[in-house]
């Protein structure tokens, strides 16, 4: 017995007319009659009473129609659920992240995601916080790793961690041993900051740090990502203040802790609570650990 036998039987049972059923199924009448006869032979029961004027279901046929309706309904539901699972497990997960993100953590989670959802494609988009919020609200990103505050009533926000800031400058510069004297040394140096339009709250935090160090920074260059800032500092165009996660092994740069300044930045994970498939839920749970 094949699915087509059930579909053929159901069509004839509903129309009670072999010619009309054949037309509805886009086949000729003789093959349809043979398929019904094969089904009856396999069941060992007569399903229809056929005369020259009419077709009627037998009692066995009426019972079998009820069963077939349930089978085909469950089959369609199974197809629908299977498709949903497939799309959740083999679709695309669009992840936004800030340029100063701690990359090894992202790499580890993506590796585990691949092991759990081998058919999910991950697409990474480096975006500043303000652009990520817009993309998340509009559904162009599924999840974002960004800096607080996230001022949106459409998004759910999970706190990931807080991190202090550090001073970044060329390695050739000599600084005093005491951190209390750092402000006096760098106050007249040119500064490189994040673009105020792209990261207004972050920009404000940097200005507050300089204020606590006793000066207003002379901002000569602005950039939209941490990599550009580090390159400008390395080229000798100024100094900068960045989150601790931006520290790297570049021998041309030195990274000085500003832990004594009580200003920190919060990294959060944001997403639309209503738009979660299995892969997205897994990513949120595991990245938030």
Listed in sequence order, the residues at least 6 apart from 66 whose beta carbon sits closer than 8 Å to its beta carbon are: none
How many Cβ atoms are within 10 Å of 58's Cβ, its own excluded? 14
Phi, psi of 147 (to 5 degrees): -105, 140
Q: How far is CA 106 from the centre of its chain?
A: 13
Q: What is the CATH number of domain 165-263?
A: 3.40.190.10
Domain topology for 92-151+277-287 = D-Maltodextrin-Binding Protein; domain 2 (3.40.190)
Rounded (to 5) percent helix, strand, coil in the chain: 45, 20, 30
E strand residue ranges, the chain: 48-50, 55-57, 92-97, 121-126, 143-147, 156-163, 165-170, 190-194, 218-223, 240-243, 253-257, 265-271
Amino acid 122: pLDDT = 93
Q: How far is Cα 183 from Cα 215, in angstroms, rounded to an integer?
A: 7
Q: Are 228 and 108 in contact (CB under 8 A)?
A: no
Does the global pTM surpass 0.75? no
Q: Are 18 and 29 in contact (CB under 8 A)?
A: yes
Which CATH entry fits the domain spanning 3-88: 3.20.20.80, 1.10.760.10, 1.10.10.10, 3.40.50.300? 1.10.10.10
Query: Could you list the pLDDT tens digit for every one of the 289 residues in the chain?
Result: 888 889 999 999 999 988 898 999 899 999 999 989 999 999 999 999 988 778 999 999 999 999 999 999 888 888 876 775 666 566 789 999 988 787 788 999 999 999 988 888 899 999 988 899 999 999 899 999 999 999 899 999 999 999 999 999 998 877 665 666 788 888 899 999 988 887 888 889 989 999 999 999 999 999 888 889 999 999 999 999 999 888 888 999 999 988 889 999 999 999 987 766 888 999 999 998 7
Q: How far is CA 257 from the centre of its chain?
A: 34
DSSP letter (8 states) at residue 245? G
The yes-or-no answer to whether 3-88 and 92-151+277-287 have a common fold is no
Amino acid 50: pLDDT = 87
Amino acid 282: pLDDT = 92
Domain ranges of the chain: 3-88, 92-151+277-287, 165-263
DSSP letter (8 states) at residue 28? -
Q: Are 200 and 129 in contact (CB under 8 A)?
A: no
């Amino acid at each position: 017995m094949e699915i087509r036998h059930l579909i053929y039987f159901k069509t004839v049972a509903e129309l009670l007319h072999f010619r009309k059923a054949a037309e509805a199924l886009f086949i000729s009448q003789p093959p349809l009659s043979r398929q019904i006869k094969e089904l009856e032979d396999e069941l060992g029961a007569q399903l229809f009473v056929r005369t020259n004027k009419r077709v009627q279901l037998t009692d066995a046929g009426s019972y079998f129609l009820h069963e077939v309706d349930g089978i085909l309904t469950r089959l369609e539901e199974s197809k629908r659920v299977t498709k949903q699972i497939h799309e959740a497990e083999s679709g695309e997960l669009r992840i936004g992240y800030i340029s100063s993100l701690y990359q090894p953590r992202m790499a580890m989670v993506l590796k585990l995601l691949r092991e759990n959802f081998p058919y999910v494609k991950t697409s990474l988009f480096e975006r500043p916080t303000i652009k990520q919020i817009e993309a998340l609200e509009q559904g162009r990103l599924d999840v974002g790793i960004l800096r607080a505050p996230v001022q949106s009533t459409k998004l759910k926000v999970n706190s990931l961690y807080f991190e202090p800031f550090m001073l970044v400058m060329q390695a050739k510069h000599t600084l005093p041993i005491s951190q209390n004297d750092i402000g006096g040394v760098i106050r007249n140096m040119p500064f490189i900051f994040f673009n105020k339009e792209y990261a207004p709250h972050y920009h404000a935090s940097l200005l507050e740090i300089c204020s606590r160090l006793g000066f207003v920074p002379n901002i000569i260059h602005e950039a939209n990502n941490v990599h550009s800032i580090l390159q400008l500092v390395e080229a000798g165009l100024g100094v900068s203040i960045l989150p601790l996660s931006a520290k790297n092994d570049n021998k041309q740069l030195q990274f000085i802790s500003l832990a004594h300044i009580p200003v920190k930045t919060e990294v959060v994970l944001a997403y639309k609570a209503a738009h979660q498939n299995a892969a997205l839920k897994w990513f949120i749970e595991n990245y938030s650990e």
